[in-house]
Amino acid sequence: MNIILILSLTLAVAMTAVTLLNKKNLISLRDDLTVLQEKLNETEKEKALLKDELLQIGKSGGVGESTILALIGEMSRIDNNLYHMQDVPGRKQIVKALERMKVSLQAEDYTIVPLLGTAYKEGMQVNAVFVSDDGLQPGYSVITSVQKPQVNRAGRMIQAASVTVAQNIQ
């Protein structure tokens, strides 16, 4: 009888410990989800602002190159945010919207050179800020952020890129 009581108490303590661990994990997951949701909301706000800007442009009957470059800059900010936010609900829709915008710009002969996430090589025509990242393999450099994307029009560069490059120089 005492053995059954001891076993029952041991089982109850073990179940309580597992429940507490699960609760702690759920709280951590909830906090992570809250942060990701805030980032998604920020991206959605940026998307809405871009949509409003496009409507204003349509009403004014045309745009200048400075407006196009400003629009491309905002698209680059969204791209940066998406690059650092993987597996977030609604991400695919925003990526597709960005792709449609890029196609529209290509119809006007503008090309945005994709640099985000690519390896940095000496001699690239970019203004680069270098940061140390010990998480990369030694000697490797990657573009982790694009402040100003490289924009070409009719095959000619009209805006040089400004980027942040993470590198491991060890």
- Per-residue pLDDT reduced to its tens digit, 144-163: 999 999 999 988 999 999 99
- In angstroms, the CA 1 to CA 129 distance is 73
Half-sphere exposure of 145 (CA within 13 A, CB side): 10
Closest CA to 73 of 161, 148, 150: 148
Structurally, how many domains does the chain consist of?
Answer: 1
Confidence (pLDDT) at 47: 81
Confidence (pLDDT) at 59: 64
Confidence (pLDDT) at 1: 65
Contact 144, 166 (CB under 8 A): yes
Confidence (pLDDT) at 148: 93
Residue with tokens 């694009």: 146
Residues in the chain: 170
Estimate to the nearest angstrom the gap between the alpha carbon of 56 and the chain centroid: 26
- In angstroms, the CA 118 to CA 57 distance is 32
Domain with 27 in it: 2-167
Q: Which of 80-94, 106-120, 153-167 has the lowest mean pLDDT?
A: 80-94
Closest CA to 83 of 50, 112, 111, 116: 116
| pLDDT tens string 49-58 | 877 777 776 6
Burial (0-12, 13-18, 19+ Cβ within 10 Å), 80: middle
pTM of the full predicted structure? 0.59
Estimate to the nearest angstrom the gap between the alpha carbon of 84 and the chain centroid: 4
- Given pLDDT bands bounded at 50, 70 and 90, which one contains residue 115? very high
